[in-house]
Structure 1
Amino acid sequence: MIHRYTTFIKAINLSVDYVILNLSMVLAYIFADNTFLFWTSNHYLPIVLVFNLIWLLAANITGLYEHVLIKDSIKTYRGVIKTYLLFISITSFTVIILIGAKSYFITREYLIYSLVLFGFLISIWKLIFLSIRKNERSSLIDSRTFVIIGGGRIGQDLYHFFSTNPEFRYKLMGVFDDEPEKLKLKVPYTGQIKDCIRYVISNKIDEIFCTLPISESSKVEQLMIEADKNLIRFKYVPEYYDFAKRPTYVENFGHIPVISVRPEPLENMMNRFLKRMFDVLFSLFVILFIFSWLFPIVAVLIKLGSKGPVFFVQIRSGKDNKPFKCYKFRSMKVNSDSNKKQATRNDSRVTKLGVLLRRLSLDELPQFFNVLIGNMSVVGPRPHMISHTKQYSQLIDKFMVRHFLKPGITGYAQINGLRGETKTTEAMLQRVEADVWYLENWSFLLDLKIIFLTVWNAVKGEENAF
């Protein structure tokens, strides 16, 4: 598919958004201070730069400017809302906490006026853009005709995709296969593979999609040569697709294409930096404003409730399966089974205080020091005991994949009720699948959602919190 104006439309979107952002800042300053003179002051210019950079950061995180021509209206507006809310959050934190309102003469009224006005204007602009795009999409996206070589399951899926996504404007003109009796497509059979190039030339077909297996590599190579000779675009759907039905990332090492098994957003350095920065700031906040006053109270109660240390330190599996010391408030009586046996419902080892700590997840608070050190994250797969890692890595194929990430205090599995004792391999498999989904779909907003739901679940109580 050729989107002739994709880059141009993306640039127009970005430019208009920035014009609206800066216009909102100017108008808000006029409304708030009844003057335009101070706008050009050198003291004020850093705030202009900060606002612009934060919008660019927020848009990159949410992918606002990706697929601007084919993304449907609902997803487009959802992306705008996500970006705007993230922009407000980062802006408020940066201006009020890091920079300081007085340093650059930024009043609360100005901040509110500029953000509200920007939100209103950009909503109107996106509505106008979507209306224009709807009317002019046919001229912005080329209509393409194509044929499929190979009518098996891969060819069927390809046909189904284009037939259910008409916005891509691909029209199937025929299917070629040497074994027509095996065709699964509900479209007319056009001919054998050797007839394909002649048919494409005579009917002026734009593209060929080849879904033949690797075992037919000689035919594929010959078809590629013939297509190049006749200025026909040839696209090959790799057989790999058939057993890895998920979005993939192709990286080229010289002329060698390498397909990643799964997308990993946190392999991006900017994403890792953003997650680490949040981990440090959030853990410092919890340590300074919650742990600092709660620790003496909990420590005294633990000592009064049972003999033993205040902290429970256990070696657990970390990122890349490297062991690390995981810290918790001790919620059990000192016992010899702590490194091999999970806590169970009504476990006799759990102290009276431990029941409350576990129900409210307060026993996990010391792990914010693990986050600060860097061997854990606020959000990620929960770390397991070394013995359980060895056990389940032999039973579940994808179990070790979760160790591509730093373990977390909370995670996607936990907010979906997949916490506590895992009595069966099936229960652990569900947790692993949730962890792998998080690995493949990470976003900063997802982390914020998980943290919010973790706190909410702790307040309302969870069935598996024991």
Structure 2
Amino acid sequence: MLNISMMISYLIVGHSFFSWWNNHYLPVVLVLNLIWLLTANITGLYEYVITKDSIKTFRGVIQSYLLFLSFTGFTVVILIGTNSYSVSREYLICSLLLFGFLLCFWKLVFLTIRKSERSSLIDNRTFVIVGGGRIGEELYAYFEGNPELGYKIMGFFDDEPTNVTQAHLYSGSVDDCIRFVIANDVNEIFCTLPAAQSQQVEQLMIAADRNLIRFKYVPEYYDFTKRATYVETFGHIPVISTRPEPLENMLNRFLKRAFDILFSLFIIVFILSWLFPILAILIKRGSKGPIFFVQIRSGRNNKPFKCYKFRSMKLNADSNNKQAVKGDSRVTPLGAFLRRSSLDELPQFFNVLMGNMSVVGPRPHMISHTKQYSQLIDKFMVRHFLKPGITGYAQVQGLRGETKTTEAMLRRVEADVWYLENWSFLLDLKIIFLTVWNAVRGEENAY
């Protein structure tokens, strides 16, 4: 689709098709192909194409296309330069727009074909489950409820037949398993035996390897959590992590930090440089006190830091332990405007530049609130794995401002933990866009 769009665009801008292979456009064509391969690899566009649902498929297409546009703009315009190969802007714009249309069109065609032919596209596999009980039953139920995965169960094996509620599938004891899978040409063994039967598990694993049967083990840890987990290996030791953390990857942290520096510098130079003197005069004239409100808040790894804001309240003794409420008498008329428009948060871009905050992340709380809610909400401290942000996923979901109940704080914490587990650069850009949009249209909880 990419190359077809470039060839059609070449004709549209008035060139002859026969000069396509003998001109200076070919290096750019090669570069765009490489950029698309890189983009698709980053977004995982071509992973699980048979089983991925249509919504996730199109979400991946949109993410890939937008990232492709960003990389292309940077590479062609800045690194290569449009003059280097005499590539016209009309050609580039036409190619990119046409590619976006053809890409979406092809995905619709693909999903239509997949819907009717999925059974023939799936690599069907047979399997057995060794070990009954709740874990074995839930594994069986999962495969039965997701036939598109292509797994067909052949039987259960357990030394205690009563552990298998699907009596018609009971095929014998654990020792009978290998003979059964060889005789019936079974592809995979899923073992749910507990660690107490480790000797049987090891013997079963060795026998499976010897007979070219794939062996998969469901750890007992599954019993303690209903959340997705992933396994890291340290040498030959498998370690189960309770949650993915994309920002534990050094490259992701570098990308986020680089964006924080560039974005905060842009805001400071082009907005705060002229807005600060105006707001400083208005704040001083509105009420007695300093221009900035400085408060100690909880940062990454729960380390305290000084958080800067434009002062929006009269001087009072409750500022470090009492949240602003609707109609709060402490808020000045100018402060009410600053809070509604989120302009009071602008000095925090200096926090970002200093490295104790990020543009996007969980909002930092007062020390007193951290102590209070860490005792009431189990996952409250998890949000402190990240740098606090000027805005965050919870805020664009409407979970900003006063938290009147523990339940309200719990929803905010859950949103922050979701962000920690699902971070991506595109997600940060989306949150920034929604924050600006919400500030323009106004928010009910901004007071």
TM-score, normalized by length of structure 2?
0.88
Contact 1:145–1:170 (CA<8 Å) still a contact in 2?
Answer: yes
1:324 to 305, 313, 326: 305
* Residue 219 of structure 1: aligned partner: 200
Tell me which moved more, 188-197 or 206-215: 188-197
* Cα pair distance change 1:50/1:367, threshold 3 Å: farther
1:155 to 127, 136, 147: 136
* Residue 273 of structure 1: aligned partner: 254
Task: Give the drift of 1:433.
Answer: 1.0
1:61-95 deviation digits (Å, cap 9, x = unpaired): 42212223432445334322321133224434665
1:362 to 337, 343, 350: 343
* Cα pair distance change 1:432/1:75, threshold 3 Å: closer
Q: Does 2:440 align with 1:448?
A: no
* Residue 424 of structure 1: aligned partner: 405
1:86-133 deviation digits (Å, cap 9, x = unpaired): 322443466567877667655432231110222234345445655676
* Cα pair distance change 1:28/1:372, threshold 3 Å: farther
- For the residues of structure 2 that align with 1:186 and 1:92, how far apart are their CA atoms? 61
- Aligned residue for 2:384, secondary structure, equals helix
Task: Give the drift of 1:450.
Answer: 1.7
Q: Does 2:261 align with 1:286?
A: no
- For the residues of structure 1 that align with 2:295 and 2:26, how far apart are their CA atoms? 51
Contact 1:144–1:170 (CA<8 Å) still a contact in 2?
Answer: yes
* Residue 192 of structure 1: aligned partner: 173
* Residue 276 of structure 2: aligned partner: 295
1:172-230 deviation digits (Å, cap 9, x = unpaired): 11122344434455853333334333333333322221112223323323332343444
- For the residues of structure 2 that align with 1:176 and 1:300, how far apart are their CA atoms? 78
* Residue 8 of structure 1: aligned partner: none
Task: Give the drift of 1:378.
Answer: 1.6
Q: Does 2:366 align with 1:390?
A: no
Tell me which moved more, 100-109 or 293-302: 100-109
- Aligned residue for 2:171, secondary structure, equals strand
* Residue 69 of structure 2: aligned partner: 88
Q: Does 2:409 align with 1:437?
A: no
Contact 1:61–1:443 (CA<8 Å) still a contact in 2?
Answer: no
Q: Which blocks of at least 5 consecutive residues in structure 2 are unaligned?
A: none
Q: Percent same amino acid at aligned positions? A: 75
* Cα pair distance change 1:41/1:247, threshold 3 Å: farther
Q: Which blocks of at least 5 consecutive residues in structure 1 are unaligned?
A: 1-19
Aligned residue identity for 1:251: E
- For the residues of structure 2 that align with 1:40 and 1:303, how far apart are their CA atoms? 69
- Aligned residue for 2:387, secondary structure, equals coil
* Residue 379 of structure 1: aligned partner: 360
Tell me which moved more, 47-56 or 175-184: 47-56
Q: CA RMSD in A?
A: 3.1
Task: Give the drift of 1:135.
Answer: 7.5
Contact 1:315–1:385 (CA<8 Å) still a contact in 2?
Answer: yes
Tell me which moved more, 291-300 or 195-204: 195-204
TM-score, normalized by length of structure 1?
0.84
Aligned residue identity for 2:347: P
Q: Does 2:346 align with 1:339?
A: no
Aligned residue identity for 1:244: T
Contact 1:61–1:444 (CA<8 Å) still a contact in 2?
Answer: no
- For the residues of structure 2 that align with 1:186 and 1:450, how far apart are their CA atoms? 51
* Cα pair distance change 1:187/1:417, threshold 3 Å: farther
Task: Give the drift of 1:413.
Answer: 0.9
1:70 to 47, 51, 63: 51
Aligned residue identity for 2:336: V
* Cα pair distance change 1:57/1:407, threshold 3 Å: farther
1:405 to 343, 366, 386: 386
Say how many residue pairs are matched.
446
* Residue 123 of structure 2: aligned partner: 142
- Aligned residue for 1:341, secondary structure, equals coil
